[in-house]
A and B are shown apart, each in its own frame.
Chain A
Amino acid sequence: MSKTKSRTAGCIAEFAGPGELLKAAEKVRDAGYKDFDCHSPFPIHGMDEAMGEKGSMLGPLVGLAAFLGGSGALLMQWWMSAVDYKVVIAGKPFFSYQAFFPVTFSLAVLFSAGMAVVGMLSMIKLRFHHPVFYSERFKKASDDMFFISVLSDDPIFSEEKTQLFLESIGGAYVEALRVDDE
């Protein structure tokens, strides 16, 4: 134990409810913090604005995936039926685009659904070892508690001042997140 050096990775503060969290988020934003987050068991309406966050860029990505899926499917069907191995079926044209619609549509949907999930997962920055998990109290964030976390990566983060600031805007149980480094 003596070898491990402990450092502070950030701090968290608890707030009483969604309304309090929203107001506190505005104050943290106005104080100039960037690397902070508001944790709640369910999404809170208006939080993006309160935190000064931009909206998600997922929409255009999914649109692109739908376009690629659909056009790729049509291209595949054209190449397979009208170029690579032509088979006359019921005297229909080799490129029967009307009949190719269902598969085109299905693959457009499939690609966009895949992109919606993969894109979302890559944007939410998955980390199994995030500093907030060092707090025992934080476990309640997925139950009924509301937290603001400020990480030490933030340029204006200071262990003491940030904790005092969080307390001053109504945060309870302000806690430093101690990480043990080897």
Chain B
Amino acid sequence: MKSFENTLTAQEPIKPLILGNPSFSSVTETISGICEKKETPIWWWIALGISGLLSLNLAAMIGYLVWEGTGIWGLNIPVSWGWAIVNFVFWVGIGHAGTLISAILFLMRQKWRTSINRFAEAMTIFAVLCAAIFPGIHVGRMWVMHWMFPLPNQMGLWVNFRSPLLWDVFAVGTYFTCSALFWYTGLIPDLATFRDRAKNRIKKTIFGVLSLGWRGGNKQWKHYELAYLLLAGISTPLVLSVHSVVSTDFAVSIIPGWHTTIFPPYFVAGAIFSGFAMVLTLSIIARAIFPQIKNFITMDHLGKIAKVILLTGTMVGYAYSMEFFIAWYSGNDYERFAFINRALGPFAWAYWIMITCNVLTPQIFWFKKLRSSIPVLFIASIIVNIGMWFERFVIVMTLHRDFLPSSWDYYTPTMFDIGIFVGSFGFFFFMFLLFLRFLPMISMTEIKGVLPQADPHHGGNSHE
């Protein structure tokens, strides 16, 4: 049982969460130093340039979409849902790991989360922003996008609250707002540190306003800590509810292969799976670029992320097989056909990519050696996200052979499908690069709080 080093059996010595035995001020120096450096590294400009160009490309393609309509995509009948919903589900899913890390792991007192929660939350916010693009643009007539909300209008008509597409509007809107509030609340004390360290007036004013006059007094901390705890509690059901609601977009319909009750838990597991893979990708990139954070985001962290990927990947694998079993067990011909067609039909290539990436790849993490190899972790994390994109693709492509063989068709993406998807990645990394450069990517306050000397009883300081 030695391998479960984080389950806290009080008798065993606990590994330090943060390596290098830093002092409070060296934590501040290391993390603020990244943002305060005068000269920006060249790689940052190159990466920002590429992702900025891709974002511009996204904007241009969306412009053309507004002009021309959704006909520029590869959509047809019966495949009337294409990459837009695939990308939407993909990006919302990515966000879930950030919320799980910041909320559920916080409630479970998993202190190792302190090193990765800040940028996992940033990842959530940018991923949900990317996700929100797609339902926004897929409506075709964007000038009536506000019809998604229950607003008074000249027809006196309201939205249909029985539709899962509307549940999505509320679930994703709430999710984005809560994630942003949670993230900002966590940032306040760190922004105060930036304010106090600011050398020039402009910076001082900006961080002064953003940190809202934070003084770090206990009369502030006591409300702050409770608010943080409450936000964690509030966000916890969101980890489960948001992707459950997203899955009802499919599950509430009566399409064979979609109309199943396994969808909500299966989507949630998949979301956490892909999100943790993205956290892993980003952590490894951040560690490579800023070697000074290696003491904060240690190999132990990466190993723990890999274990979560192994767990959720195996759950996803179970869901794939259970879906298949139930399709057979249901005795429903259409249901059986939908699944056999997934595995052996025209989109079999996508199905087997999905199985290889999502079910087989994470199994390598049973081995500690592979969990502690950076190249293996990095490649696996990317493979997992490719696989998770294909999972949603396979689900949506179930449409290509509907009840009527005469209308069967195949789906081929156009350059606009691909351009918009790649553009959303550009936008995601563009935002993330700005975040790495200008805001503390690791929570200084929380890191200081988990150092051994932060305990008031540390070093013989006992009190009654």
Contacts and interface: CB of A to CB of B under 8 A. Distances in A.
Contact of B455 (A45, A84, A107): A45
A1 interface: no
Contact of A142 (B23, B192, B218, B237): B192
B241 interface: yes
B366 interface: no
B353 interface: no
Interface stretch (A2-10, A121-129, A158-166, A172-180): A121-129
A87 interface: yes
B219 interface: yes
Given A39-B216, A96-B162, A22 B196 contact: no
A117 B161 contact: no
B231 interface: yes
Contact of A19 (B209, B448, B458): B458
B215 A141 contact: yes
A22 B215 contact: no
B162 A19 contact: no
A152 interface: no
A139 B214 CA distance: 11
B461 interface: yes
B230 A39 contact: no
Contacts of A46: 456
Contact of B218 (A40, A85, A100): A40
Given A41-B445, A77-B161, A128-B208, A113 B25 contact: no
Q: How large is the interface on A (under 10, 10 to 19, 20 to 34, 35 or more residues)?
A: 35 or more
Given A56-B222, A103-B161, A120-B224, A43 B459 contact: no
B188 to A, nearest CB: 9
Given A22-B463, A41-B445, A113-B231, A144 B161 contact: no
B463 A143 contact: no
Interface string B161-178: 110101100110110011
A127 B213 contact: yes
Nearest to B252: A99
Interface in B225-239: 225-227, 230-231, 234-235, 237-238
Given A22-B463, A89-B162, A132 B456 contact: no
A176 B92 CA distance: 53
Contacts of B230: 58-59, 62, 112, 116
B196 A140 contact: yes
10 contacts: A18-B456, A19-B461, A39-B218, A42-B448, A89-B160, A99-B161, A102-B245, A102-B248, A113-B178, A141-B216
